[in-house]
């Protein structure tokens, strides 16, 4: 049996040797084969100190192959074999495989462990050793110093060990339980029950979370078309219109015709009893000089004479002139101007080189 069967209680270790016996008060020079076997086992263990085999001291730790990626142990050891811890397993074919624990559950009386191996799987038969690790440059037993959920860039065409490409793929919530615990369904619910999505950073740039950008939100585009509106307003100084108006000129003359003159006549009274001639150009009646009242005057009858209606038919003009002032109401000009803007599509992509993003699981 290996040193995993050695107990921390000294007095029960008398029958836990591979072979031979120790004698009380035995001198070092007479150390028998049992002592030498113990030394060989201790030396073998010390040569591989980065890996530890779990032991109860009751010789009860055995390993049962459940599947190509799972084993069970008849004891509660989930604290030692916890998720993400590195393991080194010697399977039933004596082949050594390295990997990490993806699931560790205890259901009395067994702890069942599920693994993800760096390469290969468990061969047939039950493993002879399942060790959990501490430190190593290669196949390290230390948990990764990169926290689960960390996103890194790689120039390689394939994801590094322990990482998944950030391409939006859905993965098992059980197999990648640590990553699922960290990111949940922030980047996609998968099938809604057994899977979840990793972030999709293909053709995207990361943006820091903020009050206006929630974790896992996406947006933006390489080509943008400017659109929008432009508006402005104006306000002028108040002003009051005032001034003087002066008008002058001449009204054109108009010659009145007889028909346009008001109806009128020129009358005269003749005082008969005289003599002489009648002058009809002066307008009023005239006394006839000399003679008597019985003298006949040719062309007259009675005592009154009425001349013919007449007009001069000459032109006349009317002049005019005028002036005035005016006062307006105070006015303060104001208003607004609005317009829309539509531009052509513009590629806003900065110079770039494409790399792969990967997330630690």
* φ and ψ of 199, to 5 deg: -60, 150
pLDDT at 140 over 70: no
- Residue 173 confidence (pLDDT) above 80: yes
Comparison of pLDDT for 213 and 61, the residue scoring more: 213
Q: Are residues 68 and 42 in the same domain?
A: no
Q: How confident is the model at residue 350 (pLDDT cuts 50, 70, 90)?
A: confident
In a domain, 93, yes or no: yes
**Residue 126 class from Cβ within 10 Å (0-12 exposed, 13-18 middle, 19+ buried)?**
middle
Report the chain's mean pLDDT, rounded to a whole number: 77
Task: Give the mean pLDDT of 297-316.
Answer: 50
Structural domains in the chain (count):
2
- Can you tell me the distance from the alpha carbon of 104 to that of 86, in angstroms, rounded to the nearest whole number? 12
Across 120-129, average pLDDT: 94
Average pLDDT score over residue span 75-87:
90
Is 87 a domain residue? Answer: yes
**282 pLDDT exceeds 60?**
no
Residues whose CB falls within 8 Å of the CB of residue 144, separated by 6 or more in sequence, listed in order: 84, 162, 360
CA atoms of 223 and 139, how far apart (whole Å): 46
Query: Domain containing 82 — which CATH number?
Result: 2.30.30
Res. 337 pLDDT band, cuts 50 70 90: confident
pLDDT in the model for residue 317: 57
- Final residue before a domain boundary, out of 133, 153, 186: 133
* Domain presence at residue 202: no
pLDDT band per the 50, 70, 90 thresholds, residue 250: low
| pLDDT top residue among 165 and 1 | 165
Residues 76 and 36 in one domain: no
Please tell me the distance from the alpha carbon of residue 56 to that of residue 48, in angstroms, as a whole number. 20
Residue in 57, 68, 48 with CA at minimum distance from that of residue 131:
48
Say if 327 falls within a structural domain.
no
**299, pLDDT greater than 50:** no
Distant-in-sequence, close-in-space partners of 10: CB < 8 Å, separation ≥ 6: none
Residues of the chain with pLDDT > 70, as a percent, come to 65
Q: What angle do CA 238, 239, 241 make, to 5 degrees?
A: 155
Mean pLDDT is lowest, of 18-27, 55-64, 150-159, 162-171, for 18-27
Q: What is the number of other CB atoms lying within 10 angstroms of the CB of residue 140?
A: 15
Q: Dihedral angle at the C-alpha atoms of 53, 58, 64, 69, nearest 10 degrees? A: -30
- Does the residue 184 lie in any domain? no
| pLDDT score recorded for residue 202 | 95
User: Residue 158 pLDDT > 70, yes or no?
Assistant: yes
Same domain, residue pair 40 and 68: no
The parent domain of residue 11 ranges over 3-23+31-47
Residue 195: predicted pLDDT: 97
Mean pLDDT of 226-253: 72
pLDDT tens, position by position, 180-212: 999 999 999 999 999 999 999 999 999 999 999
- At 275 the pLDDT is 42
- Percent of the chain exceeding pLDDT 90 equals 35
User: Does residue 145 surpass a pLDDT of 60?
Assistant: yes
Would 119 be classed as within a structural domain?
A: yes
Averaged pLDDT for residues 169-174: 95
Q: Does a structural domain hold residue 80?
A: yes
Once rounded to an integer, what is the mean pLDDT over residues 307-315? 53
Instruction: For residues 39 and 76, state if they share a domain.
Output: no
Q: Is 16 in the same domain as 41?
A: yes
* The predicted structure's pLDDT at residue 339: 75
Claim to verify: residue 35 and residue 96 sit in the same structural domain: no
Please give, one letter per residue, the 3-state secondary structure of the chain.
CCHHHCCCCHHHHHHCCCCCCCCCCCCHHHCCHHHHHHHHHHHHHHCCCCEEECCCCCCCCCCEEEECCEEEECCCCCCCCCCCCEEEEECCCCCEEEEEEEEEEEECCEEEEEEEECCCCCCCCCCCEEEEECCCCCCCCCCCCCCCCCEEEECCCCCCCCEEECECCEEECCCCHHHHHHHCCCCCCCCCCCEEECCECCCCCCCCCCCCCCCCCCCCCCEECCEEEEEEEEECCCECCEEEEEEEEEEEEEECCHHHCCCCCCEEECECCCCCCCCCCCCCCCECCCCCCCCCCCCCCCCEEECCCCCCCCEEEEEEEEEEEEECCCECCEEEEEEEEECCCEECCCCCCCCEEEEEC
Do 69 and 42 share a structural domain? no
pLDDT mean over 283-300:
46
Q: Are residues 124 and 69 in the same domain?
A: yes
* Choice between 29 and 310, residue whose per-residue pLDDT is larger: 29
Mean pLDDT throughout 231-253? 70
Q: Tell me, yes or no, whether 9 lies in a domain.
A: yes
* Rounded mean pLDDT, 324-333: 70
- Answer with the one of 133, 163, 192 that is the final residue of a domain: 133
Decide which of 84, 108, 133 is a domain's last residue: 133
CA distances (Å), origin 349, targets 52, 160, 206, 289, 346: 53, 28, 14, 130, 9
């Amino acid at each position: 049996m290996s040193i995993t069967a050695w107990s921390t209680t000294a007095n029960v270790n008398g029958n836990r040797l591979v072979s031979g016996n120790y004698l009380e008060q035995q001198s070092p020079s007479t150390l028998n084969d049992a002592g030498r076997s113990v030394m060989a086992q201790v030396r073998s263990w010390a040569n591989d100190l980065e890996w530890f085999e779990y032991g109860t001291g009751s010789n009860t730790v055995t390993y049962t192959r459940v599947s190509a990626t799972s084993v069970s142990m008849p004891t509660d050891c989930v604290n030692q074999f916890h998720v993400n811890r590195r393991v080194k397993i010697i399977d039933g074919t004596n082949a050594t495989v390295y990997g990490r624990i993806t699931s560790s559950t205890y259901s009395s009386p067994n702890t069942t462990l599920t693994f993800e191996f760096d390469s290969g799987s468990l061969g047939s038969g039950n493993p002879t050793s399942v060790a959990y690790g501490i430190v190593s440059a290669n196949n390290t037993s230390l948990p990764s110093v990169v926290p689960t959920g960390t996103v890194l860039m790689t120039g390689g065409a394939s994801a590094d060990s322990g990482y998944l490409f950030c391409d939006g793929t859905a993965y098992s919530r059980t197999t990648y339980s640590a990553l699922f615990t960290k990111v949940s369904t922030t980047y996609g619910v998968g099938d809604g029950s057994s899977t979840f999505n990793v972030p999709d950073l293909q053709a995207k740039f990361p943006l820091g979370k903020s009050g206006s950008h929630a974790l896992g939100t996406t947006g933006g585009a390489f080509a943008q078309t400017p659109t929008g509106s432009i508006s402005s307003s104006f306000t002028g100084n108040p002003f009051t219109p005032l001034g003087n108006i002066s008008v002058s000129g001449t009204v054109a003359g108009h010659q009145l015709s007889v028909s346009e003159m008001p109806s009128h006549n020129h009358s005269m009274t003749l005082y008969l009893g005289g003599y002489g001639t009648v002058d009809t150009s002066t307008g009023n009646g005239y006394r006839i000089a000399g003679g008597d009242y019985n003298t006949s005057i040719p062309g007259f009858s009675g005592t009154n004479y009425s001349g013919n209606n007449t007009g001069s038919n000459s032109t006349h003009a009317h002049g005019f002139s005028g002036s005035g002032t005016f006062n307006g109401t105070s006015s303060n000009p104001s208003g607004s101007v609005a317009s829309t803007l539509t531009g052509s599509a513009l590629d806003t992509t900065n110079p770039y080189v494409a790399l792969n993003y990967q997330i630690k699981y």
